[in-house]
Amino acid sequence: PRIGELRPWLEQRASEALGTTVQIGGIAAISNGLIPSIELTQVRLLDPQGRDALVLPSVQAALSPHSLLRMGVEQLYIAKPVLDIRRTADGRFWIAGMPLPESSSDDSPALDWLFAQSELAIVGGTVQWTDELRGAPVLALQEVNLVLRNRLLSHAVRLDAQAPAAWGDRFTLSGIFREPLLARHAGHWRGWDGQLYASFPQVDLAHLRRYVDLGVDLAQGQGALRAWVDVKQGAATGATADVQM
C-alpha cells in the first residue's frame, strides 16, 4: 500500500545502475496473487545533455518466485514508449542516452540486466533515429512492436515497425542468437552467433539509401526485399537476399 514511498529510492538506484538520469512519475503495486506485479508510470531516461532519450508512459513488471531469486522480473510489458537512438559524429551509438559497448570487453550493466530477463514486450512504440555521422534527417518509426525472449545462452528477438508513408509498407526484423558457452556477461552481444532476418514487403530505395550503404550508387528503385544475414561474433559474415525490384 505504501510502495509509492519507494519512488525516490528507486530513481536513485536505477540511475546508478544504468549510468544515466532516471525519473519516475509514479509507482503502484497490482495485487493478483501472492506476488504482485509492479506498474511504473511516466518513466524518463535523460541523455547527458538533459534531453529525453527514453520515455515510458507505462511499464508493468510481472514477478515470480524464480525472478525474485535472481533479482529480475518474469516479464516486462511496456506500452507506447518513445526511444531515441543516435550515432554521434565520432561513430559511437547511443540508445536511450547510454553508449553501446565498443568492444566485447566493455561492460554495460544495463544490457546485462536486459538480456538476463525472461521476456520483454513493447507495444505501440516510437523510435527516433538520428545519424549525426551521415547528417541524414531524423527518421521516426511508428507503431513499433518488439518481443525479446532470453533463455539460457540464447536470445530471440522480433521487431515490427512502420516507417514514414513514403518509404513503403510495414517491415519486420527478427533474429535468433546464441552466446558463447563461457560468456560472463549477457550483454556482450559482440560475441554472439546467429542469424538475422529482414522483410520489406514494399520499400522505396531512394529513401533507404540515405540511411544505409547499399553498395551501389542507386538513384531510385522500388520493390520488395527479404534477406537472411549470418552473424558471427556480433558481425555480419554473409547474406542471402530475395529481391524483386
Backbone angles phi, psi at 48, to 5 degrees: -55, -25
When pLDDT is cut at 50, 70 and 90, the band that residue 231 belongs to is: very high
Of 205 and 241, the structure prediction assigns the larger pLDDT to 241
Closest of 69, 65, 54 to residue 14, by C-alpha: 54
What mean pLDDT is predicted for residues 78-93?
Answer: 88
Distance CA(116)–CA(109), nearest Å, equals 11
Least confident of 1-5, 64-68, 197-201, 240-244: 64-68
214 — pLDDT class (breaks 50, 70, 90)? low
Q: Return the pLDDT at 216.
A: 67
The mean per-residue pLDDT over the stretch 164-177 comes to 90
Beta partners for 147? 121, 158
Each residue of 24-56: pLDDT tens digit?
999 988 877 777 788 999 999 888 888 888 888
Whole-angstrom distance, CA of residue 21 vs CA of residue 3: 21
**Selection from 79, 68, 81 nearest residue 118 by Cα:** 68
